[in-house]
Chains A and B, each alone.
Chain A
Amino acid sequence: MLYINCPHCGMRSQNEFSYGGDASVKRPELNKEVSDQEWDNFVYNRKSLRGKHLELWQHISGCRQWIKIERDTATHEIFRTFKADEEVA
């Protein structure tokens, strides 16, 4: 079970969190013309990366904040965690 450093609450076990997918995906702006391809990329097309991956999690049984986690999908190593509005350098 992963041990996740929630930027709001500190170290918590994985069973308090729920996974939310790729954090690098940006939703196209509202009311903007979007091509089929662009929309499909947003809704469906994801890379299944092996290695370092920036992903979203929600601390669902804790502070309920969505956070970003930089994790290695192969080794489960967690490098850093970020608040939702924190810029990932």
Chain B
Amino acid sequence: MTQAFRIENGGLINKDKKLSFKFNGKTYFGYEGDTLASALLANGVHLVGRSFKYHRPRGFFGAGVDEPYAVVQLYRNGETEPNIKATEQELFEGLEAKSVNCWPSVNFDIGAINNFLKIFLPAGFYYKTFMWPKSFWYRIYEPFIRKAAGLGVASTKHDNERYEHKYEYCDLLIAGSGPSGLASAYAAAKNGAKVILAEDKPRFGGSLLTSDVNIGNQSGKDWAEGIIAELKTMPNVVVKNRSQIFGYYDHNMLVMSEKVSDHLPSTKKYHPNKRLWYIRAKEVLISSGSIERPIVFGNNDTPGVMLSSAAKEYLKVYGVLVGRKPLVFTNNDSGYETAIEFKKHGVDPVVLDSRKNAESEIIDEAKNLGINIKNSHVVVAAQGYKKVKSADIASISEDKKQLGKIENIQCDCICVSGFWTPTIHLASQSGNKTKYKEEIDAFVPGQSKQNEITLGAANGVFSLNETLKTSFKAGSELSKKITENDNEIAIPNVVEKKSSQHDKFWCVPLPEGKNYKRFLDFQNDVAVSDVEIALREGYRSIEHVKRYTTLGMATDQGKTSNLNGLQLVSEIENKVVPSVGHTTFRPPYTPVSIGAIVGREVGKHSKPTRKSPMHEWHKKNKAVFVDAGVWLRPRYYKKGNENLFEASKREAKNVRTNVGVCDVTTLGKIDVKGPDAAELLNRVYTNAWLKLPVGKARYGVMLREDGIVMDDGTTTRISENHYHMTTTTAQAANVLSHLEYYLQLVWPELNVNVVSTTEQWAGAAIAGPKSRDLLQKLFPNSDVSNEGLPFMGYTEGDLFGVKARIFRISFSGELAYEVNVESDYGNFMWEKIIEIGEEFNIQPYGTEALSTLRIEMGHVAGSELDGRTIPYDNALEGLVSKKKDFIGKRSLQRSAFTAENRQRIVGVVPLDKQTSIPEGSHLVKDDKAKLPNPKLGHVSASCWSVEHDNPFSLAILKDGKNMIGQKLFAMSPLKNKVIPVEIVSSHYVDPKGERVRS
């Protein structure tokens, strides 16, 4: 394939390196340094996609981030990514891309019938058309809309690319490397400031790459290259290309997406695909330039109609002619610059200038080159379906209301320039109240809110001379404030051509009898007629018009459409643009990959994984793990072909008959130290703590100030002023914060320190009738008899040379102990317990058996302490002191908490003694009652009682105290179950608690 539209000389691409790529299955060639767009245009390919609503053929409109049409599905190294702008995607060897939003192909798209049905698809058609019958929504309308709408297709495969996040600080962050960005960066860097200069394109220089200017006796491009080269050598400067600052957040935090690998055939080893930078800048310089805006005319979406600046960029940067018979349609001098470039490359353009007469150096140059210029002329409509073939043009009256005789002229592209729109997105995101600048018909930043300043074209300044002056000055002054250096920089001499005033003209009227679509928003297919309908239907606020018509709501966020939309609304409403106001700019400025935003926090990295020191042993012994908060805990240990139910039953039964051991390292542990430690505990827990002797443990319940149970656990007095508090696994962090809150803010007079020791201790619960025998063998030198170490006793022992803490506490309701050793000895302890326990038939048990044991004992846990229950509800009112005050006590007097029929924990047994009751089931009186069936309570936890060999559940039941013996129904609509049940005591096993004391 020849690149028929590539010029011989010119362009910044590397013609020594030819690259092959595929578009819609066909192979083409381009050069290193091309974008997908420039390479396709070099091959004469203008048709790249179909429009969103009408499936009209679409081509290339821009040459960068503002591109509304050329959105493709990209295939790279076995992965696919949707919604890639062909104008931004750099070419690499083997690149593959496909058109989106067309079926079966971009050349023949069945959806294009919408173009003929457009009368049925006006603004707001979603709201009008698909309303009835209601039942059609799920089956017919929604699938249809989903199929017809949308752009690319997201991959359903796992993304193998890596994305990184980086945090950075700097004195000056500069967004955009055009003339103002370079000048300010250079001045600031010379003053020693830490500077980050970000450019979204691969090449630095912005408009200098395409404009015909001279700075300090060099071309603009060469000057830019020199500055960048010098900046790169400076240690206090970071220059980043392919990096888009897309969001400006609070306190001068900006976020930048760096495309590290998108321009390569595959990501290099150890490199990320993209890197997201969170940058905290002392000062921000916004030099984001401006985007050319179109003039609206008939069929202005035909492939071949593009921004004049884009045509110039394709020519100057990529050496590509977007056509050989160009028509330039302009209301200002920029169009002439494009025409001059065409002419210089032997192509004869025709310029239509909406102005009656305009004079400037640029226009003179065009005239001298012999370019055909028609003043007071406009394009009425483009002709041609898949490519511009000709244009209907006409003269226009001075008031821009009357068209002259329409004439058709041949052309193969229409380069349109409706003047420039400053890119104020970042400034606006920072909170800057923008203001309307009459001279340029556009908004510019107003009063800064954060430490930001906008320079150059982004600030509506289009003179290079002025831009450089203000930018050198700003860079120098802002950096001086920070570094206190003041290195003078000679401002180079600038030669640029003066331009004349643009024409305040943005939309060509329709000729009589013609109904051309005149598009405002090219990506969302919003035409002038759609906005007119919205206004006719009474929408006034620009925000409402936007949402009703979807103007500016596509992935290009209206970069080329917003101002023309505003012009239209203000014209119809007879208002001035500033009083219509613009819609809010929100980050991101341009689409950012979800992968980049998520970074490395995917899969198992989405949260930290905490493992106990015995984790490897569990793994070796066939533990099946479960997430317990951020911890991994053994749920059960699989023997043979056992399932969860069988294994947990076996493990629990072995605890009741022999002895079991459970890893309880995950329990939260807090060291409470200081002379006022007892006083703190006494205020935090509901029960009394002042008289707990050294060497004793006590169970405690702590409340929030609103009276709701926050957590429970045992706390042991290790020595006079030292307590060891345990919390539930889930609440460990919250309890620590809670204690710190009271110590630091409420009772700073208490002399107590708290610190988390969860990770410092490994814990093993040894439970079962044979646990004492085992313990005696583990600690032959300690007296662990019932008298020596009674229930709730504490002692320290020597575990084969390792110092251990031994607590006689029980969650299982059996005779039980908890042994703690320093974490590094955890595995040693565990293996000793297993080894010595063998003669007592010890078995490890997981969380499932642990639950079974505690449920049938009626011990409460997280499923009962669910943030909605008070001590009474959990049958813990015996632990609530009447004598002393404590956190949350006053709330327990609330009438709802003292009500006679207050909810309370009960046991639930199915009448058939067979059917397990799903957790979360509602308890109701009448299973046939009309919905909503009044709920009396809910099942909080279920198990298979190993003691009784039938299902058993705990429930929180209204008036639970008086419900024992009642017959109710447990209903679980989710599981489609209705189970007749009997309410029993929550203490299903050993109600007197004799075993723990045995």
| Chain A residues with a Cβ under 8 A of chain B | 1-3, 13, 18, 20, 27-28, 30-31, 34, 39, 42-44, 56, 58, 60, 64-66, 75-76, 78, 84-85
Kindly supply a per-residue 1/0 record for chain B positions 624-661, scoring 1 wherever the CB is within 8 Å of any chain A CB and 0 otherwise.
Answer: 00000000000000000000000000000000000000
**A44 to chain B: which residues have CB within 8 Å?**
706
**B737 to chain A: which residues have CB within 8 Å?**
18, 58, 60
Give the contact stretch, choosing among B42-50, B199-207, B247-255: B247-255
Kindly supply a per-residue 1/0 record for chain B positions 729-746, scoring 1 wherever the CB is within 8 Å of any chain A CB and 0 otherwise.
Answer: 000000001001100111
17 A–B contacts from the bound complex (CB under 8 Å): A1-B249, A2-B250, A2-B251, A3-B251, A3-B280, A13-B167, A31-B884, A39-B890, A42-B705, A43-B705, A43-B891, A58-B737, A60-B737, A64-B740, A66-B744, A76-B250, A85-B748
Interface size class of B (residues with CB under 8 A): 20 to 34
Among B252, B744, B746, B885, max chain A CB count under 10 A is at: B744
Among B250, B280, B741, max chain A CB count under 10 A is at: B250
Find residues 523-573 in chain B having any chain A CB closer than 8 Å to their own CB: none
* Interface contacts beyond A18-B737, A30-B885, A65-B740: sample of 10 additional A-B pairs, CB < 8 Å, sorted by A: A1-B251, A1-B253, A3-B251, A30-B683, A39-B891, A66-B740, A66-B741, A66-B744, A75-B449, A76-B250
Find residues 219-261 in chain B having any chain A CB closer than 8 Å to their own CB: 249-253
Among A34, A65, A78, A84, max chain B CB count under 10 A is at: A84
- Indicate if B278 sits at the interface (CB-CB under 8 A): yes
- Indicate if B122 sits at the interface (CB-CB under 8 A): no
- Indicate if B431 sits at the interface (CB-CB under 8 A): yes
A33 and chain B: residue at smallest CB distance? B890
**B744 to chain A: which residues have CB within 8 Å?**
65-66, 84-85
| Chain B residues with a Cβ under 8 A of chain A | 167, 249-253, 278, 280, 431, 449, 683, 705-706, 737, 740-741, 744-746, 748, 884-885, 890-891
Could you tell me the distance between the alpha carbons of A85 and B890 in the complex, rounded to whole angstroms?
26
Could you tell me the distance between the alpha carbons of A60 and B249 in the complex, rounded to whole angstroms?
22
Known: A2-B251, A34-B890. A20 touches B741 (CB 8 A): yes
The 6 closest A-B pairs by CB, nearest first: A3-B251, A30-B885, A84-B744, A66-B744, A31-B885, A76-B250
Decide: B748 and A84 in contact? CB cutoff 8 A.
yes
Among B251, B449, B746, B891, max chain A CB count under 10 A is at: B251
**B705 to chain A: which residues have CB within 8 Å?**
27, 42-43
Could you tell me the distance between the alpha carbons of A58 and B741 in the complex, rounded to whole angstroms?
9
A30 and chain B: residue at smallest CB distance? B885
Decide: A13 and B280 in contact? CB cutoff 8 A.
yes
Could you tell me the distance between the alpha carbons of A78 and B737 in the complex, rounded to whole angstroms?
23
**A75 to chain B: which residues have CB within 8 Å?**
431, 449
Decide: B250 and A1 in contact? CB cutoff 8 A.
yes
B169 and chain A: residue at smallest CB distance? A11
Could you tell me the distance between the alpha carbons of A65 and B740 in the complex, rounded to whole angstroms?
8
B890 and chain A: residue at smallest CB distance? A39
B251 and chain A: residue at smallest CB distance? A3
**A2 to chain B: which residues have CB within 8 Å?**
250-251
Could you tell me the distance between the alpha carbons of A18 and B891 in the complex, rounded to whole angstroms?
25
Could you tell me the distance between the alpha carbons of A39 and B740 in the complex, rounded to whole angstroms?
22
B683 and chain A: residue at smallest CB distance? A30
Could you tell me the distance between the alpha carbons of A58 and B745 in the complex, rounded to whole angstroms?
11
Could you tell me the distance between the alpha carbons of A18 and B740 in the complex, rounded to whole angstroms?
13
Decide: A3 and B891 in contact? CB cutoff 8 A.
no
Could you tell me the distance between the alpha carbons of A34 and B884 in the complex, rounded to whole angstroms?
15
**A3 to chain B: which residues have CB within 8 Å?**
250-253, 280
Decide: B745 and A56 in contact? CB cutoff 8 A.
yes
Could you tell me the distance between the alpha carbons of A10 and B449 in the complex, rounded to whole angstroms?
23
Shortest distance from the beta carbon of B900 to any chain A beta carbon, whole Å: 20
Which of B278, B885, B891 meets A1, CB within 8 Å?
B278
**B249 to chain A: which residues have CB within 8 Å?**
1
B736 and chain A: residue at smallest CB distance? A64
Shortest distance from the beta carbon of B705 to any chain A beta carbon, whole Å: 5
